[in-house]
Each structure stands twice: as structure tokens, then as C-alpha cells.
């Protein structure tokens, strides 16, 4: 039985539209390629593979395929979120391994095609300030998680801390999307697309503020 769904005509039109030129055209083609897996029997394995790859090198986040699968089968939303969360954390561990074991051999490839020296240097500063919050924020928000997973290995962040922060943040992100779609259906899709960045950042700010208040009270 397929994990796919019959998308609305306007969604098909978007996928079929000719992509713009340049880097944005490449990203759009990758986005469309990711989305097409929702219409195949391989939606769930593709979701796991995408979540794994996005944690270390792939540019398109798994959220787009997760939303499509949840819309097609709302009752399996939590299962899709679980697959996405586990695969993403395992992919993050792979990114950590890249940074800690083979970084000297592959750093040139990543700096040329995945992220810049400037972004990597900024991540190193964040790790010096608070490693847990750096990983947690990257795992929950649109900040590129792959930069943080690889940098965690390069800078030898405590592995248990890295794994716990990844599990909490990635699960919070994907289960929140799945639950919203399960309970509110297709109308929530546009809301997530439009406001996900702001909502995730606001959540991190509120959570950090809550911990600050607890520390002050204690």
C-alpha cells in the first residue's frame, strides 16, 4: 500500500512548473524531487533516507516530505515523525563522525559545496558559549543542522551531550509538524510553510527564557 497521496492540482502545477535558472533552480529541482516520493510506495524509506542525509550534507530539509506523507495518511503522522526523528539523529551522528574522523580529508568538499568558512567559524563560537543550546537550536530551527553536527565532531563536543540535544530538538520539531497536520489537516500546511521559521525561533527564545527564570529562582 502506498505512502503517497493525491496532491491538489495547484501542488502538481507547482511541481511541474519550469524551475528558475541558477542555484535557485537547482534547489527547486531538488525540492520537487524530494516531494515526488510522497506519490510512490517508497515514501517512508525515502523520508528516512532524506532525514539522514539532511543531517550531514543534503540541502533540502525532510519537513517537506514529512508534511506530504502526513497529509496523505494523517493517522500515520506519528509514525512518520518517529521515522524522521530517528533517521535525522542517526544522520547527525554520522555528521559527528565526519567531523571527528575524516574532516581533514573532506573539509574542502564541504567548504566548496555545503557551507562556508564564515558559517563554520560562527558555529565554533556558539559551541564555545554553550554547546547544548547550540545543537538544540540548530536541531529545532531552520539553522542548517548539518553544520552543527559536523562541527560538533571537529571541536570534540561531548558525544552524549550532542546526542541528547539532537534527540530532544529533532523530535520536538518533527512531532510538532506531524501533530499539527493530524489534528488540523491540510489548512495547517500553508501556516507551517509561512510561519515555521518564526514559530521555531520563538519557541527556542521562550524555552531559553524559561530556563533562565528557573535558574534565577533557584
In a domain, 1, yes or no: no
Are 50 and 34 in contact, with CB atoms under 8 Å apart? yes
The average pLDDT across 198-217 equals 51
In a domain, 90, yes or no: yes
In a domain, 4, yes or no: no
16 pLDDT band (50/70/90 cuts)? very low
d(CA 187, CA 206): 26
Predicted TM-score (pTM) of this structure: 0.75
In a domain, 89, yes or no: yes
Q: What is the pLDDT of residue 82?
A: 97
The average pLDDT across 140-145 equals 80
In a domain, 93, yes or no: yes
d(CA 218, CA 215): 5
Dihedral sign of CA atoms 121, 126, 129, 135 in order: negative
Tell me the residue range of the domain where 78 lies.
Answer: 9-217
pLDDT in tens, 44-94: 999 999 999 999 888 788 988 898 899 888 889 999 999 999 999 999 999
For residue 146, pLDDT beyond 70: yes
In a domain, 103, yes or no: yes
Can you read off the three cell numbers belonging to residue 217? 529562582
Domain count, the chain: 1
How many residues are given for the chain?
Answer: 218
| Residues contacting residue 198 through CB under 8 Å, at least 6 positions apart | none
In a domain, 3, yes or no: no
In a domain, 211, yes or no: yes
| Residues contacting residue 161 through CB under 8 Å, at least 6 positions apart | 131, 132, 135
Block residue for cell numbers 520563538: 202
Amino acid at each position: 500500500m502506498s505512502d503517497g497521496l493525491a496532491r491538489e492540482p495547484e501542488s502538481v502545477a507547482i511541481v511541474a512548473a519550469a524551475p528558475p535558472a541558477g542555484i535557485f533552480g537547482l534547489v527547486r529541482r531538488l525540492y520537487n524531487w524530494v516531494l515526488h516520493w510522497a506519490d510512490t510506495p517508497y515514501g517512508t524509506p525515502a523520508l528516512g533516507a532524506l532525514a539522514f542525509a539532511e543531517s550531514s550534507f543534503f540541502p533540502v530539509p525532510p519537513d517537506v516530505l514529512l508534511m506530504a506523507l502526513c497529509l496523505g495518511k494523517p493517522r500515520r503522522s506519528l509514525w512518520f515523525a518517529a521515522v524522521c526523528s530517528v533517521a535525522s539523529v542517526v544522520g547527525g551522528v554520522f555528521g559527528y563522525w565526519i567531523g571527528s574522523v575524516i574532516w581533514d580529508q573532506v573539509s574542502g568538499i564541504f567548504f566548496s559545496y555545503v557551507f562556508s568558512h564564515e558559517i563554520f567559524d560562527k558555529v565554533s563560537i556558539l559551541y564555545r558559549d554553550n554547546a547544548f543550546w547550540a545543537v538544540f537550536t540548530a536541531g529545532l530551527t531552520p539553522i542548517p543542522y548539518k553544520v552543527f553536527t559536523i562541527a560538533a565532531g571537529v571541536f570534540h563536543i561531548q558525544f552524549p551531550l550532542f546526542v541528547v540535544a539532537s534527540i530532544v530538538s529533532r523530535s520536538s520539531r518533527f512531532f510538532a509538524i506531524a501533530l499539527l497536520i493530524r489534528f488540523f489537516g491540510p489548512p495547517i500546511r500553508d501556516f507551517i510553510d509561512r510561519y515555521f521559521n518564526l514559530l521555531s525561533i520563538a519557541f527556542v527564545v521562550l524555552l531559553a527564557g524559561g530556563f533562565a527564570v528557573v535558574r534565577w529562582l533557584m
